[in-house]
Chains A and B, each alone.
Chain A
């Protein structure tokens, strides 16, 4: 049972990434892979500050700012230098590896006897239950904020930027600026996942971000499949499905591992799983046509 609880908790930790990828990929239509770097950046900043005995309340805004700067850099390279978004993301991600390593000073920082968001409040004696409630509140707040944002005039303009650029420029929106803000927001969310995961697993590692973009992508694609299938247009339901996608994704990985698959094959399994959810809807369309 604990096994599945851990999967649920990891899913909640990674749901911020899923929201971030949802914003960059679905709302702005930009394939952003700065993610791998900004996730580790979030973890590295968190670990460094906590080891220096800084309070969690200081770490949180610093992590958000760090992620936002990373995203804004990708956005600037993409919009101002007119470089392909994928390449811009790869460049920033690669550079972030050195930044993260410099920040951390070594490849792994264990968190022992340091402050943690999960020990701020004691709701339950059981560590995992406590983590669950804190994560739930944390993710709920983020989701409410993003949901509200998408409902505002600014949010509608954001959604239109990825959907019909010519239209939204004609309606007076600087789309370059909008994309930079969008990528900053997406990567701030990604860094938040790094913040949560580092404290949950009790360490930050320079390699923790490798392939994490696939986790976010997989979660969003699960959500998208459901959104299309159920013909959902509501912003709130879409966000809830993205969160569910992140959790479903972790459950699938947990179940795969529990069947005795070698953990070294985990990344391969992840990739195959994402390939399956991307291709299955297409395959079934083909047979019905």
Chain B
């Protein structure tokens, strides 16, 4: 589904503060693989995620998504395949728009935003049904502004929004970093459920080793722009939480 070949990302080339954020990474992510990326600050894991998302373009190397070469494609043109959840709950939703408006935009992620009114009774009902699956009691508040909700509620809604339109790849950039433990757990469970239910290929970047241990069927550790560990399938299930701690030892 995603193929990253010999990708380098260099910041401040030719200056004293040169950074090799991603230093020659080769990574093949199969369909329906749920990849967890761990690594200390500055290890290049977020840059790697952004290279897939298109917010950062590589200095060299190629990126393929679903067989298409997307190496030079801008982020907004990759929305055809990719849905994203950001670290900051504010980034994934528009606070001054109603929940309904936010969902409308998400429902046409892969399509053109045309000059017709898309929010009708049918659509409202569809959104309500979707939101009620969260069990947060938000289904009757769809006219409320997104900004009036808590960070946890917004992250959960962002997740739901990602499957409003056809989605192949879900990128989760530390989605629970700004949340309290309870909200974080709800968000991670929702993510896991949606990934299974919609057969998504997913990448989760996290600092939370418990989440890294609990979720996903493949885990890699990044360090200084390179992949240090790569464990998948049965080996990932057999991995103990203490093994992960040892990676950082």
Contact = CB atoms under 8 A, between A and B. Distances in A.
B94 A159 contact: yes
- Describe A's contact surface by its main secondary structure: helix
B1 interface: no
B97 interface: yes
A174 interface: yes
Interface in A156-171: 156-157, 159-160, 163-164, 166-171
A153 B96 contact: no
Contacts of B119: 151
Contacts of A156: 97, 101, 104-105, 113
A287 interface: no
A168 B115 contact: no
Contact of A149 (B83, B96, B115): B115
A264 interface: no
Interface residue tally on A, bucketed by range: 20 to 34
Contact of A171 (B96, B106, B115): B106
Interface stretch (B25-33, B85-93, B130-138): B85-93
A160 B79 CA distance: 16
A159 B100 CA distance: 13
Given A153-B104, A169-B76, A170-B75, A164 B117 contact: no
A149 B113 CA distance: 11
Contact of A157 (B82, B110, B113, B117): B113
Nearest to A233: B145
Contacts of A256: none
Contacts of A174: 74, 76-77
B198 to A, nearest CB: 17
Interface in B100-140: 101-102, 104-106, 108-111, 113-119
A152 interface: yes
Given A152-B114, A156-B105, A157-B105, A170 B84 contact: yes
Interface residues of B, number: 39
Contacts of A170: 53, 75-76, 79, 82-84, 86, 92
A168 B91 CA distance: 9
Contacts of A4: none
A153 B113 contact: yes
Given A153-B104, A156-B97, A164-B94, A169 B117 contact: no
A164 B91 contact: yes
Contact of A154 (B82, B91, B94, B113): B113
A152 B112 CA distance: 12
Interface in A162-218: 163-164, 166-175
Contacts of B96: 159, 163
B116 A160 contact: no
Contacts of B94: 159-160, 163-164, 167-168
A171 B105 contact: yes
A167 B92 contact: yes
Contacts of A166: 86, 91-92
B161 to A, nearest CB: 8
Contacts of B101: 156, 159-160
B61 interface: no
B59 interface: no
Given A157-B113, A164-B90, A172 B76 contact: yes
Which of B82, B93, B94 has the most chain A CB within a 10 Å cutoff? B94
Contacts of A173: 76, 113
A79 to B, nearest CB: 13
Nearest to B105: A171
B135 to A, nearest CB: 24
Contact of B114 (A148, A154, A163, A169): A154
B68 to A, nearest CB: 15
Interface of B: 53, 55, 74-77, 79-80, 82-84, 86, 90-98, 101-102, 104-106, 108-111, 113-119, 143, 145
22 contacts: A153-B116, A159-B94, A160-B97, A160-B105, A164-B93, A164-B94, A164-B95, A166-B86, A166-B91, A167-B86, A167-B91, A167-B94, A167-B105, A168-B94, A170-B75, A170-B79, A171-B105, A171-B106, A172-B77, A173-B113, A174-B76, A175-B76
Given A164-B91, A170-B84, 17 more contacts: A153-B113, A159-B94, A159-B97, A160-B94, A163-B94, A163-B95, A163-B97, A164-B90, A164-B93, A166-B86, A167-B92, A167-B94, A167-B105, A172-B79, A173-B113, A175-B76, A233-B145
